Amino acid sequence: MSTFVYMTRCDGCGHCVDICPSDIMHIDETIRRAVNIEPNFCWECYSCVKACPNHAIDVRGYADFAPMGHSVRVRREEEKGTISWKIKFRNGKEKNFVSPITTKPWGKFIPKLAEGDKPNQGEINSQKLYNEPEGLNTKKELPTVNKDAFKKGVYY
Amino acid sequence: MINNNPFSILSETVPSIAMQGFLIIMIALVIFGTLIDIIHKKNVKYFFENAKKAKKSATKELSAGERVSVIAKTVAYDIGTTSELGAGKRRVAHLLGMYGTILFWIASAVMIFCYSSSTTPSAWPIIWHVGAIMTVLGGSWFWFFLRVDVYSEAQPWYRIIKADLFVLALIATSLFGLIWSYLQSLNLYGRWDDKVFLVLYVVSNLVLFGGVYWSKFAHMFYKPGAAIQKNLAEADGSRDNLPPEADAPEKFGLGIKRESPKHY
Protein backbone atom coordinates (compact mmCIF):
# COMPACT_ATOMS: atom_id res chain seq x y z
CA MET A 1 0.00 0.00 0.00
CA SER A 2 1.15 3.52 -0.60
CA THR A 3 -0.14 7.04 -0.84
CA PHE A 4 -1.25 8.66 -4.05
CA VAL A 5 -2.47 12.14 -4.88
CA TYR A 6 -5.75 13.25 -6.43
CA MET A 7 -4.37 15.78 -8.88
CA THR A 8 -7.58 17.76 -9.15
CA ARG A 9 -7.54 18.40 -5.41
CA CYS A 10 -3.84 19.07 -4.89
CA ASP A 11 -2.83 22.71 -5.06
CA GLY A 12 0.90 22.13 -4.57
CA CYS A 13 1.14 23.71 -1.11
CA GLY A 14 4.04 21.48 0.01
CA HIS A 15 2.70 20.35 3.40
CA CYS A 16 3.07 16.66 2.48
CA VAL A 17 6.62 17.27 1.24
CA ASP A 18 7.36 18.93 4.55
CA ILE A 19 5.96 16.22 6.79
CA CYS A 20 6.82 12.95 5.01
CA PRO A 21 9.20 11.02 7.32
CA SER A 22 10.46 8.94 4.37
CA ASP A 23 11.07 12.00 2.19
CA ILE A 24 9.19 10.39 -0.68
CA MET A 25 6.51 13.03 -1.18
CA HIS A 26 7.90 15.46 -3.72
CA ILE A 27 6.77 18.02 -6.25
CA ASP A 28 6.20 16.86 -9.80
CA GLU A 29 8.35 18.78 -12.27
CA THR A 30 5.72 18.96 -14.98
CA ILE A 31 2.60 20.02 -13.15
CA ARG A 32 3.97 21.25 -9.81
CA ARG A 33 1.70 19.00 -7.76
CA ALA A 34 2.63 16.53 -5.04
CA VAL A 35 3.62 13.01 -6.02
CA ASN A 36 4.81 9.94 -4.16
CA ILE A 37 8.11 9.29 -5.92
CA GLU A 38 8.79 5.92 -4.29
CA PRO A 39 5.56 4.08 -3.44
CA ASN A 40 7.49 0.97 -2.32
CA PHE A 41 9.11 2.96 0.48
CA CYS A 42 5.83 4.32 1.84
CA TRP A 43 4.98 2.81 5.20
CA GLU A 44 1.45 4.22 5.29
CA CYS A 45 2.05 6.44 8.32
CA TYR A 46 -0.75 8.69 7.03
CA SER A 47 1.22 11.83 7.98
CA CYS A 48 0.76 13.37 4.54
CA VAL A 49 -2.85 12.23 4.33
CA LYS A 50 -3.59 14.07 7.55
CA ALA A 51 -1.47 17.12 6.77
CA CYS A 52 -3.05 17.78 3.38
CA PRO A 53 -5.39 20.79 3.72
CA ASN A 54 -7.28 19.78 0.57
CA HIS A 55 -7.76 16.06 1.35
CA ALA A 56 -5.93 15.35 -1.89
CA ILE A 57 -3.96 12.35 -0.63
CA ASP A 58 -5.34 8.86 -0.23
CA VAL A 59 -3.86 5.45 0.43
CA ARG A 60 -4.15 2.73 -2.16
CA GLY A 61 -5.28 -0.62 -0.76
CA TYR A 62 -3.87 -4.01 -1.69
CA ALA A 63 -5.03 -5.16 -5.09
CA ASP A 64 -6.97 -8.14 -3.70
CA PHE A 65 -9.36 -6.10 -1.59
CA ALA A 66 -9.14 -2.55 -2.91
CA PRO A 67 -11.48 -3.19 -5.85
CA MET A 68 -14.16 -4.27 -3.39
CA GLY A 69 -14.80 -0.75 -2.24
CA HIS A 70 -13.08 -0.25 1.10
CA SER A 71 -11.92 3.20 2.08
CA VAL A 72 -10.02 4.83 4.94
CA ARG A 73 -10.17 8.59 4.83
CA VAL A 74 -9.38 11.32 7.30
CA ARG A 75 -10.34 14.94 7.87
CA ARG A 76 -8.07 17.11 10.00
CA GLU A 77 -9.54 20.33 11.37
CA GLU A 78 -6.81 22.37 12.99
CA GLU A 79 -9.02 25.15 14.26
CA LYS A 80 -11.11 22.61 16.19
CA GLY A 81 -8.12 20.49 17.17
CA THR A 82 -9.84 17.37 15.83
CA ILE A 83 -9.06 14.57 13.47
CA SER A 84 -11.91 12.49 12.10
CA TRP A 85 -11.66 9.09 10.44
CA LYS A 86 -14.17 7.34 8.26
CA ILE A 87 -13.59 3.63 7.76
CA LYS A 88 -15.67 2.01 5.07
CA PHE A 89 -15.60 -1.77 5.06
CA ARG A 90 -15.93 -4.03 2.08
CA ASN A 91 -19.43 -5.05 3.12
CA GLY A 92 -20.54 -1.42 3.17
CA LYS A 93 -20.32 -1.04 6.97
CA GLU A 94 -19.03 2.35 8.08
CA LYS A 95 -17.29 3.49 11.24
CA ASN A 96 -16.58 7.09 12.19
CA PHE A 97 -14.08 8.24 14.79
CA VAL A 98 -13.18 11.65 16.14
CA SER A 99 -10.00 12.24 18.14
CA PRO A 100 -7.99 15.20 19.38
CA ILE A 101 -4.81 16.09 17.50
CA THR A 102 -1.51 16.92 19.06
CA THR A 103 -0.80 20.56 19.69
CA LYS A 104 2.95 20.25 20.17
CA PRO A 105 4.96 22.70 18.09
CA TRP A 106 7.39 21.40 15.48
CA GLY A 107 10.54 19.88 16.89
CA LYS A 108 9.84 20.78 20.52
CA PHE A 109 9.85 17.21 21.83
CA ILE A 110 12.37 15.59 19.52
CA PRO A 111 14.78 13.74 21.87
CA LYS A 112 18.42 14.66 21.40
CA LEU A 113 19.66 11.08 21.23
CA ALA A 114 23.12 11.98 19.99
CA GLU A 115 23.75 13.84 23.26
CA GLY A 116 22.58 10.94 25.45
CA ASP A 117 24.65 8.18 27.05
CA LYS A 118 25.63 5.24 24.88
CA PRO A 119 23.92 2.01 25.97
CA ASN A 120 26.17 -0.66 27.46
CA GLN A 121 26.13 -4.30 26.29
CA GLY A 122 23.70 -5.30 29.04
CA GLU A 123 21.24 -2.62 27.96
CA ILE A 124 21.62 -3.61 24.32
CA ASN A 125 20.77 -7.23 25.15
CA SER A 126 17.85 -6.19 27.38
CA GLN A 127 14.30 -6.44 26.09
CA LYS A 128 13.72 -2.86 27.19
CA LEU A 129 13.97 -0.21 24.54
CA TYR A 130 16.60 2.53 24.73
CA ASN A 131 16.04 4.88 27.65
CA GLU A 132 13.21 2.81 29.14
CA PRO A 133 11.68 3.21 31.66
CA GLU A 134 13.13 6.72 32.29
CA GLY A 135 12.17 7.84 28.80
CA LEU A 136 8.57 7.10 29.65
CA ASN A 137 8.85 9.47 32.62
CA THR A 138 8.31 6.68 35.13
CA LYS A 139 10.51 4.52 37.28
CA LYS A 140 7.68 2.14 38.09
CA GLU A 141 5.87 -0.33 35.91
CA LEU A 142 4.68 0.74 32.49
CA PRO A 143 1.89 3.30 32.94
CA THR A 144 -1.76 2.65 32.16
CA VAL A 145 -4.53 5.15 31.62
CA ASN A 146 -7.73 4.98 33.58
CA LYS A 147 -10.61 4.92 31.13
CA ASP A 148 -12.56 7.39 33.30
CA ALA A 149 -9.89 9.96 32.56
CA PHE A 150 -10.66 9.94 28.85
CA LYS A 151 -11.87 13.26 27.61
CA LYS A 152 -15.45 13.82 26.66
CA GLY A 153 -16.03 13.44 22.95
CA VAL A 154 -13.28 10.91 22.29
CA TYR A 155 -14.76 7.72 20.92
CA TYR A 156 -12.96 4.42 21.43
CA MET B 1 1.13 55.22 -22.39
CA ILE B 2 -1.66 53.91 -20.18
CA ASN B 3 -4.35 55.69 -22.26
CA ASN B 4 -3.05 54.44 -25.63
CA ASN B 5 -4.46 51.43 -27.40
CA PRO B 6 -1.26 49.73 -28.65
CA PHE B 7 -3.19 47.73 -31.23
CA SER B 8 -4.64 50.90 -32.73
CA ILE B 9 -1.12 52.27 -33.35
CA LEU B 10 -0.05 48.87 -34.69
CA SER B 11 -2.96 48.85 -37.16
CA GLU B 12 -1.13 51.58 -39.10
CA THR B 13 1.39 48.94 -40.21
CA VAL B 14 -0.41 45.63 -39.62
CA PRO B 15 -3.98 45.19 -40.91
CA SER B 16 -6.66 44.72 -38.24
CA ILE B 17 -7.78 41.48 -39.86
CA ALA B 18 -4.30 39.99 -39.29
CA MET B 19 -4.46 40.85 -35.58
CA GLN B 20 -7.96 39.39 -35.33
CA GLY B 21 -6.80 36.27 -37.17
CA PHE B 22 -3.86 35.90 -34.76
CA LEU B 23 -6.19 36.10 -31.76
CA ILE B 24 -8.54 33.49 -33.27
CA ILE B 25 -5.56 31.19 -33.92
CA MET B 26 -4.50 31.58 -30.27
CA ILE B 27 -8.00 30.60 -29.09
CA ALA B 28 -7.96 27.62 -31.46
CA LEU B 29 -4.54 26.58 -30.11
CA VAL B 30 -5.89 26.62 -26.54
CA ILE B 31 -8.90 24.48 -27.51
CA PHE B 32 -6.74 22.07 -29.52
CA GLY B 33 -4.07 21.79 -26.79
CA THR B 34 -6.65 21.20 -24.07
CA LEU B 35 -8.44 18.51 -26.10
CA ILE B 36 -5.16 16.72 -26.82
CA ASP B 37 -4.30 16.98 -23.11
CA ILE B 38 -7.67 15.46 -22.17
CA ILE B 39 -7.31 12.63 -24.70
CA HIS B 40 -3.74 11.86 -23.72
CA LYS B 41 -4.11 11.99 -19.92
CA LYS B 42 -7.66 10.59 -19.84
CA ASN B 43 -8.11 12.85 -16.80
CA VAL B 44 -11.64 13.98 -17.65
CA LYS B 45 -12.76 10.38 -18.22
CA TYR B 46 -11.28 9.41 -14.83
CA PHE B 47 -12.84 12.46 -13.21
CA PHE B 48 -16.37 11.65 -14.37
CA GLU B 49 -16.03 7.94 -13.58
CA ASN B 50 -14.87 8.82 -10.09
CA ALA B 51 -17.71 11.32 -9.62
CA LYS B 52 -20.22 8.67 -10.76
CA LYS B 53 -18.76 6.16 -8.29
CA ALA B 54 -18.87 8.73 -5.47
CA LYS B 55 -22.50 9.51 -6.23
CA LYS B 56 -23.46 5.95 -5.26
CA SER B 57 -22.62 6.73 -1.63
CA ALA B 58 -24.70 9.93 -1.62
CA THR B 59 -27.04 10.20 1.34
CA LYS B 60 -29.20 12.91 -0.17
CA GLU B 61 -30.64 13.57 -3.62
CA LEU B 62 -29.93 17.18 -4.55
CA SER B 63 -32.71 19.13 -6.24
CA ALA B 64 -31.95 21.30 -9.28
CA GLY B 65 -32.23 24.43 -7.11
CA GLU B 66 -29.78 23.07 -4.55
CA ARG B 67 -27.35 22.15 -7.32
CA VAL B 68 -27.56 25.63 -8.80
CA SER B 69 -27.04 27.16 -5.37
CA VAL B 70 -23.95 24.99 -4.67
CA ILE B 71 -22.50 25.77 -8.11
CA ALA B 72 -23.18 29.51 -7.69
CA LYS B 73 -21.49 29.52 -4.27
CA THR B 74 -18.54 27.57 -5.68
CA VAL B 75 -18.12 30.01 -8.56
CA ALA B 76 -18.39 33.06 -6.29
CA TYR B 77 -16.19 31.79 -3.46
CA ASP B 78 -14.04 28.77 -4.34
CA ILE B 79 -13.27 29.78 -7.92
CA GLY B 80 -13.65 33.56 -7.67
CA THR B 81 -11.39 33.85 -4.63
CA THR B 82 -9.32 30.63 -5.12
CA SER B 83 -10.21 29.65 -1.58
CA GLU B 84 -8.41 26.30 -1.77
CA LEU B 85 -5.12 28.18 -1.42
CA GLY B 86 -6.11 29.24 2.10
CA ALA B 87 -5.33 32.63 3.55
CA GLY B 88 -1.88 33.90 2.73
CA LYS B 89 0.64 35.04 0.17
CA ARG B 90 0.00 32.23 -2.33
CA ARG B 91 -3.65 33.19 -2.61
CA VAL B 92 -2.95 36.92 -3.00
CA ALA B 93 -0.31 36.25 -5.68
CA HIS B 94 -2.68 33.86 -7.48
CA LEU B 95 -5.56 36.35 -7.36
CA LEU B 96 -3.33 39.12 -8.72
CA GLY B 97 -2.17 36.91 -11.56
CA MET B 98 -5.60 35.42 -12.26
CA TYR B 99 -7.59 38.65 -12.39
CA GLY B 100 -4.73 40.47 -14.10
CA THR B 101 -4.68 37.86 -16.84
CA ILE B 102 -8.47 37.91 -17.26
CA LEU B 103 -8.48 41.72 -17.56
CA PHE B 104 -5.48 41.66 -19.92
CA TRP B 105 -7.03 39.06 -22.23
CA ILE B 106 -10.52 40.59 -22.30
CA ALA B 107 -9.11 44.07 -22.97
CA SER B 108 -6.85 42.66 -25.72
CA ALA B 109 -9.80 40.97 -27.44
CA VAL B 110 -12.02 44.05 -27.16
CA MET B 111 -9.34 46.44 -28.41
CA ILE B 112 -8.35 44.17 -31.31
CA PHE B 113 -11.88 43.38 -32.46
CA CYS B 114 -13.67 46.65 -31.72
CA TYR B 115 -11.17 49.49 -31.62
CA SER B 116 -8.08 48.59 -33.63
CA SER B 117 -9.04 51.08 -36.35
CA SER B 118 -11.26 53.51 -34.46
CA THR B 119 -11.01 55.72 -31.37
CA THR B 120 -10.74 53.62 -28.21
CA PRO B 121 -12.63 54.61 -25.04
CA SER B 122 -9.90 55.35 -22.45
CA ALA B 123 -11.15 52.61 -20.09
CA TRP B 124 -9.95 49.69 -22.27
CA PRO B 125 -6.27 50.69 -22.58
CA ILE B 126 -6.24 51.34 -18.82
CA ILE B 127 -7.76 47.89 -18.15
CA TRP B 128 -5.19 46.32 -20.52
CA HIS B 129 -2.22 48.00 -18.81
CA VAL B 130 -3.48 47.43 -15.27
CA GLY B 131 -4.20 43.77 -16.11
CA ALA B 132 -0.69 43.32 -17.50
CA ILE B 133 0.89 44.98 -14.44
CA MET B 134 -1.16 42.77 -12.09
CA THR B 135 -0.12 39.66 -14.02
CA VAL B 136 3.55 40.59 -13.91
CA LEU B 137 3.37 41.37 -10.18
CA GLY B 138 1.40 38.24 -9.22
CA GLY B 139 3.38 35.94 -11.52
CA SER B 140 6.77 37.29 -10.44
CA TRP B 141 5.85 37.16 -6.76
CA PHE B 142 4.88 33.53 -7.22
CA TRP B 143 7.89 32.59 -9.34
CA PHE B 144 10.57 34.32 -7.30
CA PHE B 145 9.27 33.67 -3.78
CA LEU B 146 6.39 31.23 -3.52
CA ARG B 147 7.12 28.26 -5.77
CA VAL B 148 6.59 25.11 -3.76
CA ASP B 149 9.67 23.33 -5.10
CA VAL B 150 11.78 26.26 -3.88
CA TYR B 151 9.78 27.01 -0.73
CA SER B 152 9.32 23.46 0.55
CA GLU B 153 11.94 21.42 -1.25
CA ALA B 154 14.80 23.90 -0.99
CA GLN B 155 15.52 23.85 -4.71
CA PRO B 156 17.49 26.90 -5.93
CA TRP B 157 15.28 29.75 -7.19
CA TYR B 158 16.97 29.81 -10.59
CA ARG B 159 16.10 26.16 -11.35
CA ILE B 160 13.60 26.17 -14.21
CA ILE B 161 11.41 23.12 -14.76
CA LYS B 162 8.65 22.22 -17.20
CA ALA B 163 6.03 23.40 -14.71
CA ASP B 164 7.42 26.93 -15.13
CA LEU B 165 6.45 27.06 -18.80
CA PHE B 166 3.01 28.45 -18.05
CA VAL B 167 3.90 31.07 -15.44
CA LEU B 168 7.02 32.28 -17.24
CA ALA B 169 5.19 32.54 -20.57
CA LEU B 170 2.41 34.44 -18.82
CA ILE B 171 4.85 36.88 -17.20
CA ALA B 172 6.74 37.29 -20.50
CA THR B 173 3.56 38.00 -22.46
CA SER B 174 2.43 40.72 -20.07
CA LEU B 175 5.88 42.21 -19.53
CA PHE B 176 6.79 42.35 -23.24
CA GLY B 177 3.33 43.76 -23.97
CA LEU B 178 3.88 46.53 -21.42
CA ILE B 179 7.38 47.37 -22.69
CA TRP B 180 6.13 47.35 -26.30
CA SER B 181 3.29 49.70 -25.36
CA TYR B 182 5.68 52.01 -23.50
CA LEU B 183 8.16 52.19 -26.39
CA GLN B 184 5.29 52.80 -28.82
CA SER B 185 4.13 55.75 -26.72
CA LEU B 186 7.60 57.36 -26.96
CA ASN B 187 7.11 58.08 -30.68
CA LEU B 188 10.49 56.76 -31.79
CA TYR B 189 9.71 57.38 -35.46
CA GLY B 190 10.37 53.97 -36.91
CA ARG B 191 13.26 52.99 -34.61
CA TRP B 192 13.79 49.26 -33.97
CA ASP B 193 13.07 49.21 -30.19
CA ASP B 194 9.33 48.74 -30.15
CA LYS B 195 9.45 46.27 -33.04
CA VAL B 196 11.81 44.01 -31.09
CA PHE B 197 9.41 43.94 -28.16
CA LEU B 198 6.45 43.43 -30.49
CA VAL B 199 8.22 40.33 -31.84
CA LEU B 200 8.95 39.15 -28.28
CA TYR B 201 5.30 39.79 -27.36
CA VAL B 202 4.11 37.71 -30.33
CA VAL B 203 6.60 34.89 -29.62
CA SER B 204 5.66 34.72 -25.92
CA ASN B 205 1.98 34.56 -26.92
CA LEU B 206 2.78 31.68 -29.28
CA VAL B 207 4.63 29.86 -26.48
CA LEU B 208 1.85 30.51 -23.95
CA PHE B 209 -1.08 29.46 -26.15
CA GLY B 210 0.76 26.96 -28.31
CA GLY B 211 2.27 25.18 -25.31
CA VAL B 212 -1.00 24.24 -23.63
CA TYR B 213 -0.33 20.51 -24.02
CA TRP B 214 3.08 20.76 -22.32
CA SER B 215 2.27 23.42 -19.72
CA LYS B 216 -0.10 23.90 -16.79
CA PHE B 217 -2.36 26.13 -18.87
CA ALA B 218 -5.33 23.72 -18.80
CA HIS B 219 -5.49 23.82 -14.99
CA MET B 220 -7.67 26.90 -15.33
CA PHE B 221 -10.35 24.67 -16.88
CA TYR B 222 -9.87 21.60 -14.68
CA LYS B 223 -9.72 23.34 -11.30
CA PRO B 224 -13.19 24.97 -11.47
CA GLY B 225 -14.72 21.62 -12.49
CA ALA B 226 -13.00 19.87 -9.61
CA ALA B 227 -14.16 22.55 -7.13
CA ILE B 228 -17.77 22.17 -8.27
CA GLN B 229 -17.60 18.36 -7.99
CA LYS B 230 -16.05 18.64 -4.51
CA ASN B 231 -18.77 20.94 -3.20
CA LEU B 232 -21.57 18.91 -4.80
CA ALA B 233 -20.12 15.81 -3.10
CA GLU B 234 -20.11 17.66 0.25
CA ALA B 235 -23.72 18.72 -0.27
CA ASP B 236 -25.06 15.29 -1.27
CA GLY B 237 -23.33 13.57 1.66
CA SER B 238 -20.97 11.36 -0.39
CA ARG B 239 -18.04 13.66 0.44
CA ASP B 240 -15.65 11.51 -1.63
CA ASN B 241 -15.73 9.08 1.32
CA LEU B 242 -14.37 11.71 3.70
CA PRO B 243 -15.73 11.81 7.24
CA PRO B 244 -18.15 14.63 8.11
CA GLU B 245 -16.83 17.70 9.86
CA ALA B 246 -16.29 17.11 13.58
CA ASP B 247 -18.98 18.46 15.87
CA ALA B 248 -16.42 20.52 17.80
CA PRO B 249 -16.08 18.43 20.97
CA GLU B 250 -15.95 20.57 24.06
CA LYS B 251 -12.76 19.36 25.70
CA PHE B 252 -10.38 18.89 22.84
CA GLY B 253 -8.44 21.98 23.78
CA LEU B 254 -7.34 24.79 21.55
CA GLY B 255 -6.92 24.30 17.85
CA ILE B 256 -3.49 24.53 16.34
CA LYS B 257 -2.04 26.94 13.85
CA ARG B 258 -0.67 25.32 10.73
CA GLU B 259 2.95 26.20 10.09
CA SER B 260 4.43 27.05 6.71
CA PRO B 261 5.84 23.97 4.97
CA LYS B 262 9.45 25.11 5.27
CA HIS B 263 11.07 22.59 7.58
CA TYR B 264 13.46 21.04 5.08
Q: What is chain A's mean pLDDT, rounded?
A: 82
In a domain, A156, yes or no: no
**Could you tell me the pLDDT band of residue A57, with boundaries at 50, 70 and 90?**
very high
Q: Is B237 on the interface with A (CB under 8 A)?
A: no
Report the b/e string of A83-98 with b at 16+ CB within 10 A.
bbbbbbeeeeeeeeeb
In a domain, A11, yes or no: yes
Given a contact cutoff of 8 angstroms between Cβ atoms, the answer to whether B60 and B237 are in contact is yes
Q: What is the number of CB-based contacts under 8 A between chain A and chain B?
A: 138
Smallest CA–CA distance, residue A129 to chain B, in Å, is 29
Inform me whether the pLDDT recorded for A156 exceeds 60.
Answer: no
Name the DSSP letter for residue A116: S
| Predicted local confidence at residue B126, as pLDDT | 95
CB-based contact B251 A153, cutoff 8 Å:
yes
Q: How many domains does chain A have?
A: 1
| Predicted local confidence at residue B88, as pLDDT | 87
Helix (H, G, I), strand (E, B) or coil at A81: coil
Single-letter amino acid code for the residue at B178: L
Q: Is B94 on the interface with A (CB under 8 A)?
A: no
C-alpha span between B133 and B208 (Å, rounded): 17
C-alpha span between B51 and A26 (Å, rounded): 27
Beta bridge partners of A3: A59
Give me the sheet containing A71-77, strands edge to edge.
A71-77, A82-88, A94-100
What are all long-range contacts of B147-152, with beta carbons under 8 Å and residues at least 24 apart? B147/A32, B148/A12, B148/A13, B148/A14, B148/A17, B148/A27, B148/A32, B148/B261, B149/A27, B149/A29, B149/A32, B151/A14, B151/B260, B151/B261, B151/B262, B152/A14, B152/A15, B152/A17, B152/A18, B152/A27, B152/B261, B152/B262, B152/B264
Q: What's the Rg (C-alpha) of chain A?
A: 20
Q: Is B153 on the interface with A (CB under 8 A)?
A: yes
Q: What's the Rg (C-alpha) of chain B?
A: 22
| Other CB atoms within 10 Å distance of the CB of residue A73 | 19
Tell me which chain A residues have a C-beta less than 8 angstroms from the C-beta of B225.
Answer: 8
**Could you tell me the pLDDT band of residue B48, with boundaries at 50, 70 and 90?**
confident
Least confident of A20-34, A115-129, B36-50, B209-223: A115-129
What residues have CB less than 8 Å from B109, skipping those under 6 apart? B23
Given a contact cutoff of 8 angstroms between Cβ atoms, the answer to whether A88 and A79 are in contact is no
Q: What is the rounded average pLDDT of the residues A61-80?
A: 78
Inform me whether the pLDDT recorded for B190 exceeds 80.
Answer: no
Inform me whether the pLDDT recorded for B250 exceeds 70.
Answer: no
Tell me which chain B residues have a C-beta less than 8 angstroms from the C-beta of A75.
Answer: 242-246
Give the structural domain span for A18.
2-149
**Could you tell me the pLDDT band of residue A60, with boundaries at 50, 70 and 90?**
confident
Task: Return the active site residues of A.
Answer: 43
| Predicted local confidence at residue B76, as pLDDT | 95
Smallest CA–CA distance, residue A66 to chain B, in Å, is 14
Query: DSSP letters along B181-249, please?
Result: HHHHHT--TT-SHHHHHHHHHHHHHHHHHHTTTTSSTTHHHHHHHHHHHHHHHHHTT-GGGPPPPP---
| Predicted local confidence at residue A63, as pLDDT | 67
Tell me which chain B residues have a C-beta less than 8 angstroms from the C-beta of A150.
Answer: none
- Residue among A30, A54, A154 minimizing CB distance to B84: A54
Backbone angles phi, psi at B149, to 5 degrees: -70, -20
CATH classification at residue A31 = 3.30.70.20
Q: Which residue has the higher pLDDT, B1 or B115?
A: B115
Start-to-end CA distance of chain A, whole Å, equals 25
CB-based contact A74 B225, cutoff 8 Å:
no
Inform me whether the pLDDT recorded for B120 exceeds 90.
Answer: no
| Predicted local confidence at residue A48, as pLDDT | 94
| SS3 track for B31-80 | HHHHHHHHHHHCHHHHHHHHHHHHHCCCCCCCCHHHHHHHHHHHHHHHHC
Tell me which chain B residues have a C-beta less than 8 angstroms from the C-beta of A27.
Answer: 148-149, 152-153
- Mutation choice for A interface testing from B94, B152, B223 by most A CBs within 10 A: B152
In a domain, A42, yes or no: yes
Single-letter amino acid code for the residue at A123: E
Beta bridge partners of A103: none
Q: Where exactly are the structural domains of chain B?
A: 6-42+86-217
Give the CA distances from residue B8 to residues B157, B182, B188, B210, in Å, rounded to whole numbers and listed in that order: 39, 14, 16, 25
| Predicted local confidence at residue B194, as pLDDT | 84
Tell me which chain A residues have a C-beta less than 8 angstroms from the C-beta of B219.
Answer: 31
The complex's ipTM works out to 0.85
